[in-house]
Chain A
């Protein structure tokens, strides 16, 4: 607790905040407009909003949210496939709590559970494996959502299921990896971003070096950082300093957790069970080499293989602009449905219901800040 206390120390944060404000003002003079930084991690979106930083810095620095929420970027057709599993007799769906309320084309896991589907919330995929063991008469399908932070745990659950010789555990993987979506994001011509705040826990797995292409190929200053106000303010200082000096580097501001080469063991277990494939991202369409699917030798653990579910035709969305939001093209307040037709109680898109979603964070923390 001492460490967290220090990282939240109001005195330290206060001094850092003053420094950010000063550098931001210098950047306004330098650029002729406020600098624009984008965070690409849902936990950062929430942390920034919770600390009220967007509001404090409004006018001198613009903080935008990008594609940081693994739930939000899951294609609606894949959510519909998972909902299809929930409706199959004999299948128990195991999922992280976040997915329960995410709307598919016309229903959600929460609604299906109320109608009799067997849907269980688990805190970890290991719990889903234990669940399968305790329910020999049912097929447990785990909804594999998440970036590099989560995928190693899911891979470990597959290893565990294998070692226990379970025949009733499988994973429906919509796992994705982050560097390709950032590549797609910054390659867009009309993107106006002066720097990126990179995800702390994804980087813990991938390592700092995995993001070097941002500075080397695209000249975008980037800082990996943690989730305390102190961490985020520190990253803003580093980004502003780079903008002011015209340098573009990928800096590690989360050295207590992130190494240069990342977590080799976690990377190893991901690649033991999964292979990299093209994947469809809400808002971006297909991004090459951005998804993780189970290798053929583990088809016995792959729900897609064992229980093929046809993909339903894509229905036009009801005015939902999650896609543009995820690319940072609009802020939540600019979506016509925000806080009106789309609220956490009655969400139209996943960005409003996922705890990592930008709309959810803005709805909870930013309304009333002039956002």
Chain B
């Protein structure tokens, strides 16, 4: 295999501007590096577009860009995020993810070994989800023009017949479920970025949820809506659903799963776990009659062991209330700006 853009200094090979030119070096990079990790036959055709058959039904399409800093953190990295994030957006919309496209914008000087680490992680995530990257693009920009690497993934999926999710379906009495503990990803990234020294005690929960969600949607037609918990955390997701559906959510603080380490770290930093990001958790609103069975199914899955019923839907106007541990009531609203740690 030819050496890819060997840099003049040291043994660390780096990405050069020429790798984004579309010429020989790009070709070497795609075939020699990207193809090691993305094995789709469609991709390997290297045509200008991936062409594939689709089953009858409604298509779902989503896209997301990933610019997380730092790119490597406990429990994941930007590559894993890029795959799981897009797959999960499709899954919570009721779609079975079919294919992904991935475009990479890379800073000149980015270490090849880091690129391979990111791609390898993407490959592992794709395998776990059973979804392939079938189209891609690579650009390289000058040093300082972006921060190491940005990835955009676009995903297409199909919503099976009979799956009907939407705000219109929410009714007072529906229950709100979550598949596990909150705040893990947000804290893991913060800890890595600020070098807080938590080691591996707090790990991102980044994971592809499509298989678990598929099991749920196949069995339960009482699922009204689902929402991926990303930036803004549980509170924001709940608020968005409640506002859009014009109902009130009543959540119980005691019921919300929280890992002891996340709880402790958030306390120390003065952050509220209800507003910290997750990448492997989703909210599900389901008919009360099916809630317990759905809970059992989730708890039988690796990604749902700590699943809980955390609240219910009531008639209202888009507010989210939290019954606090001492028995009080607190309003959960959208955050203005990023959560800021306390001064004293």
Residues of A with Cβ closer than 8 Å to B? 1, 4, 8, 10, 13-14, 17, 43, 49-56, 70-71, 96-98, 100-101, 110, 123, 145-147, 149-150, 201-202, 229, 233, 343-345, 353, 355-356, 363-369
Measured CB to CB, the nearest residue on chain B to A367 is B331
- CB neighbours (8 Å) of B344 from chain A are 43, 70, 146-147, 149-150, 201-202, 356
B330 touches A49 (CB 8 A): yes
Q: Given A229-B325, A344-B336, decide whether A145 and B330 contact each other with a Cβ distance below 8 A.
A: no
Q: Given A70-B344, A146-B343, A147-B344, decide whether A101 and B337 contact each other with a Cβ distance below 8 A.
A: yes
B337 touches A344 (CB 8 A): yes
A56 touches B328 (CB 8 A): yes
B326 touches A14 (CB 8 A): yes
Q: Given A70-B344, A98-B342, A201-B344, decide whether A56 and B327 contact each other with a Cβ distance below 8 A.
A: yes
Q: List 28 A-B contacts (CB under 8 A).
A: A1-B260, A1-B263, A4-B263, A4-B267, A8-B325, A10-B254, A17-B327, A50-B330, A51-B324, A51-B326, A52-B323, A52-B326, A53-B328, A54-B328, A71-B343, A97-B341, A123-B194, A145-B343, A146-B343, A146-B344, A229-B324, A229-B325, A344-B335, A345-B336, A353-B336, A368-B319, A368-B329, A368-B331
User: With an 8 A cutoff between CB atoms, is B321 at the interface?
Assistant: yes
Known: A1-B264, A10-B327, A50-B330. 6 other contacts (CB 8 A): A4-B263, A10-B326, A13-B327, A49-B330, A149-B344, A355-B343
User: With an 8 A cutoff between CB atoms, is B199 at the interface?
Assistant: no
Residues of B with Cβ closer than 8 Å to A? 194, 254, 260, 263-264, 267, 269-270, 319, 321-331, 333, 335-337, 340-344
- CB neighbours (8 Å) of A123 from chain B are 194, 269, 341
CB distance from B336 to the nearest CB of A (A): 3
Interface majority SS (helix, strand, loop, mixed), chain B: loop
- CB neighbours (8 Å) of A202 from chain B are 344
Q: Kindly identify which residue among B254, B333, B340 contacts A97, using a CB–CB cutoff of 8 Å.
A: B340
Measured CB to CB, the nearest residue on chain B to A371 is B331
Measured CB to CB, the nearest residue on chain B to A343 is B336
B194 touches A98 (CB 8 A): no
A366 and B340 CA atoms in complex are apart in Å by 20
A345 and B337 CA atoms in complex are apart in Å by 7
A264 and B271 CA atoms in complex are apart in Å by 30
B327 touches A96 (CB 8 A): no
